[in-house]
Structure formats: structure tokens, C-alpha cells
Structure 1
Amino acid sequence: MDDEVSYESKKIIVAVVREWYKASQVGDTKSPKIQLFLAWEPPELGQFKLNVDGSRRCASSFICVKGVIRNSFGDWVSGFDVNLCKGKILEAEVWGLFFYLQLAIAKVIRRLTMEMDADMIVLLVGSPPSQ
């Protein structure tokens, strides 16, 4: 019976590896490339903008978050770069929000908008509390 289970396990592993290999080859096709030009857009005159981004290393699961505040002319006002413990990318984005608020309070910046790429955080923060 062990030989039977072992043979079935090998078949499953080979099938999964083949499927993974086929899926990983998708990027090698000669599909046309689309070039995007992204640029930072300043806030309105007299306002400030904070850009925040969290990241996670896949191998170690360590997370970090960085943020920069710029004025309406694009000048650097303040920023942060924090290495955190092991975690998930969503946790890094939440920490980014925390450090953003902490920095805005410390610098007494009231007219501040924030840009981040974590839709879930934006939805959580922007949603009214459920009754």
C-alpha cells in the first residue's frame, strides 16, 4: 500500500510542477508591451501630500513602510522609513497609515492628502462604522 500511495503522490507532484511551469511561461510570450508614464501630481497650492508604500520580502516575510511628505511645489518636507517585524503586506500598509498620522500630528500639518496603493486600507478607513 505504501508503494501505491507513493506512486499517487509522485503523480500529483509531477502534475503540479508541470502546471506551475506552464503558468510561469506566460510572461515569455511575445505579447506587445504597454509603456506607462507615471508622474507625481502635486496637491493644491497650500496643501501637502504624503505618499506611503509598504513592502514585504517574500523569503523572510519581513515588512517595511516608507513615506514622504511634499508641499504643492514638490519640495520634500518630511518622511519616514521603518523596518518592521515579520508580517503581511496589509499590516505594512496599516503601519504606514499609523506613521503618517503620527508624522502629520508632530509637524502640525492639517491640509494633507495621502496616496497609497492599498485599496483595502482606503476602504476600511473611508467606510463609516457599521451600526
Structure 2
Amino acid sequence: MDDEVSYEPKKIIVAVVREWYKASQVDDTKSPKIQLLLAWEPPELRQFKLNVDGSRRCASSFIGAGGVIRNSLGDWVSGFHVNLCKGQIMEAEVRGLFFDLQLAIAKVIRRLTMEMDAAMIVLLVGSPPSQ
């Protein structure tokens, strides 16, 4: 009976591994893969674009971030990469944005467009403050 609770470590481990294995199987019949071709688009004339991304290694929980600022011609203006010890992916994304904004401030860049793939952070940054 699968609903029965077991207190035997071996049975618990085997059950968890089976559950993980089932969950990690990809069923190609469910949804066809769609190829998307993405390309960087420059900002408007005399503006700059900041691109930032965070990353996390699942096995070790080490996080890092990197970013770049380019002008409207696509020329590299400034950039960074940083290892951030251990943490969560949202922390890597937020800290990456922080480092990239520090670069923009140091370069006295005022007309700036930001791009990142962390939707929650984009929503938080783009939202007006609560009153």
C-alpha cells in the first residue's frame, strides 16, 4: 500500500528516489518544443542598455552574477562578473542588478534601459512605491 507511512530509512529513500525520478522524466508528447531566436536590441539613440543575469549551481548553492552596459550602437561601455558565495537565485539576480546600477552611477549614465530575465525583480523595480 503506497499510502502507508514507513519509518524504515531504506524504504523512505527508495520512495523519494522513485518519486523524484517520475517527476524528472520529460514527456515529449505533451508539448512540442518551439525554437525561439532571440537577439539583443539596442536602446534608443543616446541611451544605454544594462543587461544583467544571476546564476546558481544547484548542487553547491554557489551563486554569481554578471552584467554589461552597452550604448545605442551596441558598443561595450562597462561590465562585471562576481562570485557571491552561497545563496538563492533571487539574491544573485538582485545583487547583480545592484552591481550593474553601481557601474551606471560610476559612469554617470542617466538614460538607461534595464533588461533581465528575473520577472519578479523586474516587477518590483518597475512598480511605483506604495503610499
| Structure with greater helix percent | 1
What's the TM-score bracket when you normalise by the shorter of the two chains? 0.7 to 0.9
SS at match of 1:38: coil
What stretches of structure 2 of length at least 5 have no aligned partner?
A: 1-5
Map of 1:39 onto structure 2? 39
Q: How far, CA to CA, are the matches of 2:97 and 2:114 in structure 1?
A: 9
Aligned counterparts, 1:1-80, within 5 A = 5-6=7-8, 10-27=10-27, 29=28, 32-80=32-80
Provide the aligned length of Structure 1 versus Structure 2: 125
Shift of 1:12: 4.2
What stretches of structure 1 of length at least 5 have no aligned partner?
A: none
TM-score, normalised on structure 1?
0.83
In the superposition, relative to structure 1, how do residues 15 and 112 fare at CA in structure 2: closer, same or farther (>3 Å)? same
Structure with bigger gyration radius: 1
TM-score, normalised on structure 2?
0.83
Runs of 4+ in 1 over 4 A off after TM superposition: 9-12
Q: How far, CA to CA, are the matches of 1:96 and 1:119 in structure 2?
A: 14
Which stretch shows the higher mean deviation, 114-123 or 29-38?
29-38
Percent pairwise identity: 85
